[in-house]
Amino acid sequence: MSASAEKVDVFQAIADPTRREVLRLLAEKELPISAITSHFPISRTAVVKHLHILADADLVTGHKVGREKIYRLHPGPLTEVKQWLSFYEQFWNNKLSMLKHLVETEGDTALTVLRTETDQQKK
């Protein structure tokens, strides 16, 4: 985990449920480590490690005020996830683009897929 030059992948950073919960907390307002820790059943040391990972992914920033270290949400890197997701949106936005995609690439299975989707809707 080390200092602050480790460069953690944002996808990896948000993979852990505890870290996602930390982000949600910091979305409400910035908080010192101890306040964050109080929301979890794990040790402060463990929370600090999660914070370091989030900081290495540039999803949070921390600044010291007196003896406290205050962490704040820095959501910028989440745009990378959004961009990644946007590529897959064509597959669920409507069945027409799904059909178009299938016809273009694997035409012979398009009907099978469409039938499956229809059955799921009926259920």
Among residues 5 and 96, whose Cβ is nearest to DNA?
5
Q: Give the containing element (helix H, strand E) for 70.
A: strand 68-73
Among residues 47 and 59, whose Cβ is nearest to its own copies?
59
Residue 21 corresponds to which tokens in the numbers above? Answer: 């919960």
By CB under 7 A, residue 25 contacts DNA: no
Among residues 22 and 102, whose Cβ is nearest to DNA?
22
Q: Which does 84 bind (CB under 5 to 8 A by kind): its own copies, DNA, none?
A: its own copies
| Binding map of DNA across residues 31-60, x = CB under 7 A, - = no contact | -xxx--x---xxxxxx-xxx--x-------
Among residues 48 and 78, whose Cβ is nearest to its own copies?
78
What Cα–Cα distance (Å) separates residue 78 from each residue in 13, 15, 29, 48?
10, 13, 18, 21
Is the Cβ–Cβ distance between 59 and 23 less than 8 Å?
A: yes
Q: Give the containing element (helix H, strand E) for 34.
A: helix 33-37
For helices 17-28 and 44-56, angle between their N-to-C axes, nearest 10 degrees: 80
Residue 51 corresponds to which tokens in the numbers above? Answer: 């914070």
Interface residue list for its own copies (CB under 8 A) = 9, 11-12, 14-15, 17, 20, 23-24, 27-30, 72-73, 75-76, 78-79, 81-82, 84-85, 87-89, 91-92, 105-106, 109, 113
Provide the minimum distance between the beta carbon of 93 and DNA in the complex, in angstroms, as a whole number: 29
